Structure 1
Amino acid sequence: MESIYSVNDLELCAETYGDPADPAVLLIHGATASMLWWDSRLCTDIAARGRFVIRYDQRDTGRSTSFPVGAPGYAMSDLAADAVGLLDALGIERADVVAQSMSGGTALILGVDHPDRVASLTLVSTSTGDEGLPPPSPDMPHLGTPDFDAPTAVEEYVVRAIEAEAAGHFDESAARALVVQDMARTRNYEAAMTNHYAMTFDAPRNGSFADLTMPVLVMHGDADPLLPLPHGEAVRDAVPGARLVVLEGMGHGLSAPYWKAFVDEVVAR
């Protein structure tokens, strides 16, 4: 069941799975994505393997606090502070942190600036952001900007974006059901779709990838059209001792055919 927690003078909506006595796994999805993008069946699968799973709506997504469109007034370090605050609210000392795409930056800040709260990091479909890494595939369509006053247009835009990133593993009905549910429960969907890109992308105060001391796993699809595989390889190379698992045929999103491999790796941390 979803619950609202008071964290850093705002409201964060979170949902947990499993026994709170088990080791915690904190799932942080990417830009614009609410906790629903971590499928509930996937969360249940992780919990069934002896983990206490937390998924949550970051600022400007889902049922969590929304900020003015285009002017969020926060930084990526604030998103990391929210994650720490949520662990505090749940009475959790340390968690295995799993971060997707843009939230690899949030996880980096957590790991460098709050290492006592992070048992391990799993970075999925993310990047170092270094210059010289390959751009998105030229085959990805340019979708433009939807008319946020037309919900059906917004729905279609997000469904098509999911399709573009899926590298062939696309379930139209599941994608549309996700988007419809997400739009219905989000406080301000225009803010959700724009504000993560308008925030300040700051760096850790105390170092960089090379300063991570906890176990780090990098998972990346070799068919990722948004952040091609060299981005994942760059993360692996930047972190001493990091391990890279290449998921053959996977695109940018963690699609259902890869859930078992993902769960196996997460519970092995």
Structure 2
Amino acid sequence: MTSVRANGVDLGIESVGREDDPLVLLVGATTMLSWPDALCERLASGGRRVVRYDLRDSGASTTLDPENPAYDLRDLAADAAALVGALGAGTALLGGVGVGGMVAQVAALDHPDVFSALTLVGTRPVAPGPVDEDLPDHDLAVMGALFSRPRPDWTDRDAVAAFAAEGAEPMGNDPEESRATAARVWDRTPSSDPAVHQANQLGMVFSRIDCAPRWRERLGELDVPTLVVHGRADPFFPVGNGEVLAAEIPAARLLVLDDMGTALRHAAADQVAAAMLAL
């Protein structure tokens, strides 16, 4: 792991594969660990240079004040485009999970010459906040139960990992994978500030950034091979969101995983990697 200067900020990255292979750039949601190691390794074994990275205010990337971010969605999209150049590549396949999928959509729309293919995982075509009438919103019962839980002491690694594991099943995720990922995210958080730990674990910074203007009406402009991956058990962005994305992006392919919730499960690495390599 290292960091790369791009678009005026330092972005924490991890690279797997040969540097002269075609680049796959993976946007974190919000940290790079939303992309499982096994998936990155499978893509690399398929002849790709895989770089996953942390969004601003998360992981090893520039962290200033997650509670008052001084940037917007377009800045995050520009980070992705600038990172491709900083890595010495002309173009890249771009992947995004969750809110990282929103960054990926806007980056591909705003920088069409930089991205040659797109993979969108567990995301939707509108920003956080009120959802369009034809898109299924969060499962309110699940969200109410999860967000009414007492927050852990964010400076206590074991408590944070246990909090993640306890909330995994309602989100359609594997408790032990969630526990392990939360512990790794905690280890990579370069601050003892509870607000920074919370931002890394929950990605709450994204609800505080300006995501205007809308981009859904521009999805028809996307002229790159696109894979939409969605979990049928996802209560946060229910599967109808992925179905709409695949319908509105020209020639997109939809891959629905029955056992997947909000997170990419390690067991799905081979299937998702194979679909990405086929783009």
Residue in 2 aligned with 1:242? Answer: 252
- In structure 2, give the amino acid aligned to 1:72: P
In 2, the alpha carbon distance for the partners of 1:111 and 1:11 equals 21
Residue in 1 aligned with 2:95? Answer: 98
Gaps of 5+ in 2: 191-195
8 Å contact from structure 1 (residues 95, 120) kept in 2:
yes
Q: CA RMSD in A?
A: 2.2
8 Å contact from structure 1 (residues 23, 52) kept in 2:
yes
- In structure 1, give the amino acid aligned to 2:56: R
Q: Deviations over 1:122-161 (max 9, x none)?
A: 1111112351222223452333362555525443333333
- In structure 2, give the amino acid aligned to 1:27: L
- In structure 2, give the amino acid aligned to 1:157: F
Residue in 2 aligned with 1:176? Answer: 179
Q: TM-score, normalised by structure 1?
A: 0.89
Is residue 136 of structure 1 aligned with residue 133 of structure 2? Answer: no
Please state how far the C-alpha of 1:26 moved relative to its aligned partner.
Answer: 0.8
In 2, the alpha carbon distance for the partners of 1:191 and 1:221 equals 24
Q: Which stretch shifts more, 77-86 or 126-135?
A: 126-135
Give % identity.
Answer: 32
Is residue 114 of structure 1 aligned with residue 111 of structure 2? Answer: yes
Residue in 2 aligned with 1:124? Answer: 121
Q: Deviations over 1:153-211 (max 9, x none)?
A: 4433333333332x2x5142x32222122112213313434322211113478971111
In 1, the alpha carbon distance for the partners of 2:168 and 2:75 equals 27
Is residue 146 of structure 1 aligned with residue 168 of structure 2? Answer: no
Q: Please state whether the residue corresponding to 1:42 is helix, strand or coil.
A: helix
Residue in 1 aligned with 2:21? Answer: 22
Q: TM-score, normalised by structure 2?
A: 0.86
In 2, the alpha carbon distance for the partners of 1:233 and 1:206 equals 13
Q: Please state whether the residue corresponding to 1:45 is helix, strand or coil.
A: helix
Please state how far the C-alpha of 1:264 moved relative to its aligned partner.
Answer: 0.6
Is residue 72 of structure 1 aligned with residue 69 of structure 2? Answer: yes
| Distance of aligned partners of 1:252 and 1:116 in 2 relative to their CA distance in 1, 3 Å threshold | same
| Distance of aligned partners of 1:252 and 1:93 in 2 relative to their CA distance in 1, 3 Å threshold | same
Decide which of 40, 55, 60 is 1:58's aligned counterpart: 55
In 2, the alpha carbon distance for the partners of 1:83 and 1:247 equals 27
8 Å contact from structure 1 (residues 22, 50) kept in 2:
yes
8 Å contact from structure 2 (residues 36, 265) kept in 1:
no
Q: How many residues are paired up?
A: 263
Decide which of 78, 81, 96 is 1:81's aligned counterpart: 78
- In structure 1, give the amino acid aligned to 2:100: S
Decide which of 151, 162, 165 is 1:156's aligned counterpart: 162
Residue in 1 aligned with 2:193? Answer: none
In 2, the alpha carbon distance for the partners of 1:136 and 1:206 equals 18
Decide which of 209, 212, 229 is 2:239's aligned counterpart: 229
| Distance of aligned partners of 1:143 and 1:205 in 2 relative to their CA distance in 1, 3 Å threshold | closer
8 Å contact from structure 1 (residues 66, 191) kept in 2:
no
In 2, the alpha carbon distance for the partners of 1:85 and 1:59 equals 14
Q: Deviations over 1:9-63 (max 9, x none)?
A: 2211111111121111111122xx3112222222111100111100111111111
| Distance of aligned partners of 1:206 and 1:160 in 2 relative to their CA distance in 1, 3 Å threshold | closer
Gaps of 5+ in 1: none
8 Å contact from structure 1 (residues 210, 239) kept in 2:
yes
8 Å contact from structure 2 (residues 46, 277) kept in 1:
yes
| Distance of aligned partners of 1:93 and 1:162 in 2 relative to their CA distance in 1, 3 Å threshold | farther
In 1, the alpha carbon distance for the partners of 2:217 and 2:37 equals 35
- In structure 1, give the amino acid aligned to 2:136: P
